Structure 1
Amino acid sequence: MMSLPHRISGNLALDLANTISWRNTSREIDHLATFGDVLAWSREVGLIGDDLVLSPPEQKTLYEQVLALRNAIRGAGSAIANDLDPLRPDFDIIRDIAALALCQASLSGTPYTLHFKGIYRVTGAIAWSALDLLRGDELSRLKQCPPDDCHWLFIDRTKNASRRWCDMGTCGNRAKKLAHRAAH
């Protein structure tokens, strides 16, 4: 199993979108290349424990939905972060999976909490996280890391909205080193 990426975005849906490192380069790593990777990531982010048992068709559906959500969230998030209009199909995928999950969910507690079942323990939670971001106050703080080999999405929660990179320790330092070399 492959190592999982750092979770730097501040949002579950964006963390899913960021599961490809070094996108479109010779070093590209898809952290969700297999169904096992999806399960490991889902455990890592706290969506499931070891109790999730799925039939082979359910495993296939879960894997396909996770990859579809990842692409849709990345597409919509990238457009929004760059002041563009997201594509309707990206919104449709997020909405459709959220609707399917809601049909299988139960409500309990005070305040009420959605409890998803089966594959929707993963995809329902992600789709609703995406919807919450799209409908929430933090959407204006959605940014995308500028380096050509990264493009990870994140929520800038700095007081003055000045965060530029997904992670200062990697992309920020690399950008500063390149700028320093160019200046000298």
Structure 2
Amino acid sequence: MIEASPEAQLVAAFANTVDLEDETDVLASAPEAAGWLLERGLVDRPVALTREEHRMLLDLRAGVRDALGSDGPSSPHVLAVANAVLRDLPVLVFLSADPDPQGPPPRHGLRPDPALPAARKAMGVLAIAWSEVAVTGQAQRLKRCADETCGWVFWDVSRNHSRRWCTMRVCGNRRRPVPTRPANAPPPTRAPDAAGSRSAHRPRITGTSTAHRHCEPSLPDGVTGPTPAHGRTIWGAS
């Protein structure tokens, strides 16, 4: 089985900072966003995001989520705004192993411009992670659930990259046509945690105080790693 790279895990964690079902947003305010950057190891000390930096982070996330749609990008405007953010995050290429001992180790010779403020450096790391996902073809496996009420970003482990829902048992069943039945027929019965029950499969993402490269993905049965909740891959450190 092809495992998600640390970059793919970081991109997924970033995209999943908003939970449509739970109606929560880890990046809702600038202080909350700063806390998430610190927990993920994208900054090495607490930072105060400006209003502009907070908006940039939200715009970048919106673009990443749109680009990961199971049916492809759906909003050219959202992508254009995110691309404008990326243009303000210069990335440098280095031949040396670690040109800046004060910063996180660069991967593949790429590093955000050291002259950037801390919050923008963190966004630069996210940009580098996205470039790795896109260039290596991992974007074919990193997808946003096709159920519009869910939108969870997951790692597609199917052989032909054909999976469209984070979990077929819940989100996939929501999209199935409802069979026609006689008007006088009694309503069907279902278990308390059947498809449509939010509490049965709602994801929980926890932050981590270590750098993103140390986070491990949830893996199927038989493979070492955390256990997915109801078929839904949850990325984050314990």
Q: Same fold (TM over 0.5)?
A: yes
The partner residue of 2:111 within 104, 109, 114 is: 114
Structure (1/2) with the larger helix percentage? 1
Relative to structure 1, the CA distance from residue 89 to residue 109 in structure 2 (aligned partners, 3 Å threshold; closer, same or farther) is farther
| Gap runs ≥5 in structure 1 | 1-8, 180-184
Q: How does 1:48-59 map to 2 (within 5 A)?
A: 48-50=43-45, 53-54=47-48, 59=50
1:67 Cα offset (Å): 0.8
Matches of 2:133 and 2:12, distance apart in 1: 9
The partner residue of 1:19 within 10, 17, 20 is: 17
Relative to structure 1, the CA distance from residue 35 to residue 113 in structure 2 (aligned partners, 3 Å threshold; closer, same or farther) is same
3-state SS of paired residue (2:154): strand
The residue that corresponds to 2:62 in the other structure is: 71
Matches of 1:147 and 1:86, distance apart in 2: 14
Relative to structure 1, the CA distance from residue 114 to residue 29 in structure 2 (aligned partners, 3 Å threshold; closer, same or farther) is same
Contact 1:142 1:153 in 2 (8 A): yes
1:76 Cα offset (Å): 1.9
Matches of 1:88 and 1:159, distance apart in 2: 29
Q: Which amino acid aligns with 1:121?
A: K
The partner residue of 1:38 within 15, 33, 41 is: 33
For normalisation by structure 1, the TM-score amounts to: 0.66
CA RMSD of aligned residues (A): 3.6
1:157 Cα offset (Å): 4.2
| Gap runs ≥5 in structure 2 | 1-6, 98-107, 175-190, 196-238
The residue that corresponds to 1:156 in the other structure is: 156
Contact 1:142 1:155 in 2 (8 A): yes
Matches of 2:140 and 2:86, distance apart in 1: 22
Matches of 1:134 and 1:91, distance apart in 2: 14
Of all paired residues, the percent bearing the same amino acid is 23
Contact 1:19 1:32 in 2 (8 A): yes
1:127-169 C-alpha deviation (Å, 9 max, x unpaired) = 332233233311221323355542111232466758676479x
Q: Which amino acid aligns with 1:30?
A: D
The residue that corresponds to 1:90 in the other structure is: 78
Matches of 1:151 and 1:12, distance apart in 2: 17
Relative to structure 1, the CA distance from residue 48 to residue 155 in structure 2 (aligned partners, 3 Å threshold; closer, same or farther) is same
Q: Which amino acid aligns with 2:133?
A: L
1:41-99 C-alpha deviation (Å, 9 max, x unpaired) = 1112210021x555xxx621211111111111112212xx12x3443333333333223
Q: For the pair shown, which has the larger CA radius of gyration, 1 or 2?
A: 2
For normalisation by structure 2, the TM-score amounts to: 0.53
Comparing 60-69 and 120-129, the one that deviates more: 120-129
